[in-house]
Structure 1
Amino acid sequence: MRRSRSRRALRVTALSSATLVMLGLGAAYTAGYSGVGEVPEPDFSDGGAVSSAAAADQYVTGTSTGFVKDPDARYTRQSVITTPRGLNYVSYARTYKNLPVFVGGDVVVVTDAKGTVKGGTAGAEVEVATTPKVTAAKAKKVSLLIHPGDVAGEPKLGVIAGDGKDRLVWEVVIESRPGAEASRAHAYVDARTGEYAGSWDEITGGTGQGHYGGQVTIGTTTGSGGFEMRDPSRGGMRVLNDRTGQVLTDADDKWGNGTGSDPTTGGVDTQYAGGVMWDMLKTKFNRNGIDGKGGTASMFVGLAEVNAFYSCAGTGDANRDQTKYGRTSDGARQVNSVDVVAHELGHGVFCHTPGGSRGTTNETGGLNEATGDIFGTLAEHFAANPNDPADYLVGEEVNLSGRGPIRNMHTPSAVGDPNCWSSSIPTTEVHSAAGPLNHWFYLAAEGSAPAGKPASATCNGSRVTGIGLWPAGEIFYHALLRKTSGWTYTKARKATLDAARELHPNSCTEFNVVKAAWDAVSVPSQGDPTCTVTAPQPVPSATTPSPSAPASPSTAPSPSAPGTSAPAPSAPNPTATAVQTVDIDAAALRADINEFARIAQANNGNRAHGSAGYKASLDYLKQRLDVAGYTTRVQQFTHAGKTGYNLIADLPGRGDPNRVVMLGAHLDSVTQGAGVNDNASGSAGILEVALAYAASGANGDKGIRFGWWGAEEAGLVGSKAYVSSLATGERAKITGYLNFDMIGSPNPGYFVYGDDTRGTAIAAALKAGFAAEGIEPDSTDIKGRSDHASFKAAGIPTGGTASLSLAPAMTAAEAAKWDGEAGKPYDPCYHSSCDGAGNVDHDALDAHTDVAAYAAWALTGVKAPAEPTSTRVENPADFAIKDRSAIESPITVQRSGQAPATLKVDVDIRHGFRGDLEIDVIAPDGTAYRIKKSSRFDSADDVKVGQTVDASAEQAAGTWKLRVRDLYSGDTGTLNSWALTF
């Protein structure tokens, strides 16, 4: 089996002092080496955080990297955020002539998980006099005229930058007085002229019976004499009484009475909504808490105001933040429905992503307010609570002032907010200034005329087709991760376009919808990126025999790896000509198998129809698919007096929805056991194919659909219910159905279904997939004993694979061909209690799943890049070579097939004593090829070499690195450039 290349964890990593780089002093290098002994290897572990930090440091501080540097600036790295889509975000604060740049000076660099810089956002070069003419005392007086209150601390001198309006300013922090609306404003006064220059505000506006959520489960813990409303599983999330400052307590862990004005009921609603927000961030975006580091704000109920607000302490630690919830104008209800609580916590996400909440106009504040609305909407949809149906209205259940919702995302003007952006937005009240972004999000997610949902008139009269709620949410979340201070609508537009392009490198569908939605709300373009992809070539229809379907022995770039773009050097991606070979992550399959086994163990040992174990299995799949951008729906049916469920997943915007290839597997087990081989194996296999297809950006001629069936063990009940529910026209859209049942038997075979004459093309694609794995399969007729029979009976072409036939044991010929055990059953635990986590051959499961992926790509019409002719790719960035240190310079290659036996490596290094240097080329799999060894007798200057190495054992695609180690003291130098020629 091939190596795993998938990574799906998200972390915000605090880097150790050994890997922090002194910035503003030249190129980045791995610091912290001792003066004697061996030079350590560079550390590129930690989920890509360290390699991303090193590459970003080099990009910001090095020369010839494409980053426009301010000669009077110094940059300090603030955070490294890694994401499950392989895009990492490294943020920096800036000083100008040793003064802080309060607004407009921060930088975000975007890399992939291997450390290849893909782009970023940065403030403009600063040029301003740094000697104040206005005193700090006068700055206080000017600020207090605009923001009545009490000055906290002493004014600080610094700079606000951007749009050619750089200013030396005093920053004055003013806190509101008791009885006034809560505020902690950061006001800026021009330190040369005394003019007010703008501001921003830190404060933006167990089981229990809740008023909005009904009977819900909340996180509590035992306290002195009873229970506390504190959730240890969600970062210690807690609810406090605003009047007493104490955590809510209860004697029996049965909280609230459901009435709108009861403080404890308000606590239930708040803790429930906070838990929904926490779980949604984790499940959908792999974000750990509000700040990404496991922290969340303290939540207070009982505020004696018709309001709710969030106070961000600005420390980087959300545990020091507070959010408070008041009452409605009539006093009948508290302001803590799911969308309102998640809205306030969404301000926390805005504060704890790069750039924070800092700005000088209401435009940044408006984007902050709309961010809260977007997270509130996402959380409401995630909760799926029938007591509060999901919609695109904010606060409709609360009815704050007796006039219904406080904001309307599909029609902002319905509540008095602007539908369209205009030049007056920077001076519009912040809640109203949210209107255009809310409108954009609805259009991007649902479109202008979605079926069954409110129409949304566009500002330019265009028609927009949405990409779905969760894909739009993911794009917006990644835009937040590249946010800088002083965010504006034009910057948000560019950030979302960059995010769409990077999240979907092989598709322009999402990019074009995001762009059309911005145009539809009149936000002007300012340096928009462009999107181009190579058009896929057609493959034979699943209804047309294709015995010549090619089997490609070469391995193309991993479908889960994002594409690359400037400024990182990379080889060109040539025109597609062959079916792509896909490698599914074996470790991910193993994790899925273990999770299904755990679910069964926790639910009476099985995942049978109508059981809690089956429902938990379905929920696990649905959450994974929703995060990946699929449109999922659960179909209910009844059998033997129990409710059953099918799960259907479509990937919007990929291929022709009127011509669909479908992959399916049954999800249920028998009651006797966990059903790991039968059929967690097939369910896990097509789940990972679905996730890989979405992550790759694959976009063939046809659409793709996945199905997981209930009650198969009772007679194909679920798949029959699905097929019978389809109208004739809908059935005709399915050009082929591929079934995967028991694909990990412990004594595994490798079989392709051969019982459907209409499925010739499907069988050919599956056999080609096995050929790509180096496996010779056999055909088998399983006589309609799995879910493909339901589709075959409806005239839909079918096929599939299995790791067993209907024979009682493996034959001698099969054992010789597949290295099996003759005379023994393929699966001795079939339909028994021993079909648990140990009853699976993981190599066989990986192979069958790779074959499923190959067929999915082939039959939908996705093609692999063609092998190019000789290609040279160079990294011209300068890297400083320090005494007794090591550097690595990356080159990302997008080229299928093997590297050549005569891979040419050109190296140009300036150095005072070349004998100090040991030079290696590191292949994507970590194999090192020596270019030059060190020698104290090699006393010449510089290294200029063109050398060939035999790299034919390596895949060409991936990130190659030149590693230069200086083993001695006394001489330093610079790596000027290096290149590879394939």
Structure 2
Amino acid sequence: MRSNSSRGRTSHTAPRHLSHPRTATVALAGVAALLAVAVQAGAAGAAPAKPLPGKVDPAHAAVKLSPSQRAELIRDADGAKAATAREIGLGSQEKLVVKDVVKDADGTVHTRYERTYGGLPVLGGDLVVATSKTGKTMDVVRATNATLKVPGLTPAIAKAAAEKQAVQRAKALGGTKSAADSVRKVIWAATGKPVLAYETVVGGLQDDGTPNQLHVITDAATGKKLFETQGIKNGIGNTQYSGQVTLTTTQSGSTYTLNDGARGNHKTYNLNHGTSGTGTLFSQNNDTWGNGTTSNAATAGADAHYGAAVTWDFYKNTFGRSGIKNNGVGAYSRTHYGNSYVNAFWDDSCFCMTYGDGSGNNDPLTSLDVAGHEMSHGVTSNTAGLNYSGESGGLNEATSDIFGTGVEFYANNSSDVGDYLIGEKIDINGDGTPLRYMDKPSKDGASKDSWYSGIGGVDVHYSSGPANHFFYLLSEGSGTKVINGVTYNSPTADNLPVTGIGRDKALQIWYRALTTKFTSTTNYAGARTGTLAAAGELYGTTSAEYKAVQDAWAGVAVGARSGGGTGGTSYESNTPVSIPDNGPAVTSDITVSGRTGNAPSSLQVSVDITHTWRGDLVVDLVGPSGTSYRLKNFSSSDSADNVNETYTVNAASESANGTWKLKVQDQASQDTGKINGWKLTFP
């Protein structure tokens, strides 16, 4: 049985703020990882315990290794690699190269190796050796079980011949480069009998714009093409905020880097708490980045790299924009800036984003909407160039919030679902609250919901509030609603409803205004003019979209409603009506007279009800004809207090004049309340 308790309230302090100042392109050292078919060799030393049905055997679950623990295991394996090679039967010319290690709860260690032969990399020579906690080899999983032996290491075919073959093949696939990026000797062991071969890599772009990293394997004795593949692969990023994601990375030899060749070569660097330069490009010998926590520096790198990729794709696929400058050139990201730096910023001079690690270096500011926010400052700089002060500064910040929100919804990431909250993942305030709220900006304690004459003197992060609020109203409309699990309740400055047109259209209007209507000095009045011009061009000056832009701006006290005035007539009842616990329905009446025709299809019903555990309540509007319109359903899981919402009802079949009733019934025990008042608004 549930308890009867009120919802806790959180007080909001002024937020700290952000400042302004999928496939992976990889030049593979070898393609064996894409081709490997594991061949079991040897047997386990003892039969494992029978696992419980439907449960993971805890003994065989991998333990979480700290960076130092992992490094130590890799050092141990590296020190013993020669002995391991002999133990598993490798020849005298074969050597192991440690790549990765996993440790089970029962002490079993799985060490992943690559292999060389006569100093040449063996493509298809990788293997995994499992050893018990006593160091005994239990089994070996090989990419190939063929004996590694070739007659010699001197090729009969010239390197130029192999390059020519690969370049011709790349051109047939749409490539345009006339020379290879690299040609090297390898041992090809991924298919059939191992042979001496060339691996040639040809980069560039295919004719459909897809990055081209064609890898061609050529038999060095006969010149026959043995294999080809695109060096396009998905790196794995274990991010702190967006879960496990695919990353676009580049591989050269045995080294992977956070270099996005598919998106203008956007690179992600580790400043390692420095405050100048680029630091060090994230680089490692495997393509799995971070561990989802701050214990691994690459976690923040993965978040930033992912955010940059999604932002690039958002602009390209939403607006047809190719990069920040729309010239196909990527910016770059710098992570781990300073020490406990609680901010992130865009810098035009370096054409880069920079992220601090947050308080105590525990909460990097690399969440998806923050990445989108920062890159969008660059878009603004390269379009309208809104001055970063006064009302134009507020519009500059709002533009980044608007497009950062667009990025988050575009990503469709289940670990960071789209919302109208800014920076909700990074918890700068330390109380679980976002930096900013677009539906009602003043909830952060400092931002402004609506325009007023002195707003140009407010910090730009808070004077952005009216534009953020406008965008929310234009997208979703006013009143209470739940979107992706988040409850919003957006008011309007004139207390009149706004009907949204959807986020996609709102984004198109703002982007067109930014890129074709705004200038460096645009203020709120100018933003209204610009967005109306954009809406008119996109959807027509008599369209619902054009009128919605007018109404949304009026909702934040910028200009008049689409009707030419304040618009709307309200009818209200402020007579309290008690709601009995788990009892019969009660009603409150409003009589409407003096109107002609029927009620509108967008009748607004504003409800003010005090009631603990509001899920007990069922609320209906009853029209003059006696027809009921359901406003709120019963919900056993909604334990929050009170109903303060505005509903939109299609009441076009009702006569406008007559007695309208608000009907409320409590359908569960233990909680009581009352109707404080309610209002009907006819647009």
Q: TM-score, normalised by structure 2?
A: 0.45
Q: TM-score, normalised by structure 1?
A: 0.32
| Higher Cα radius of gyration | 2
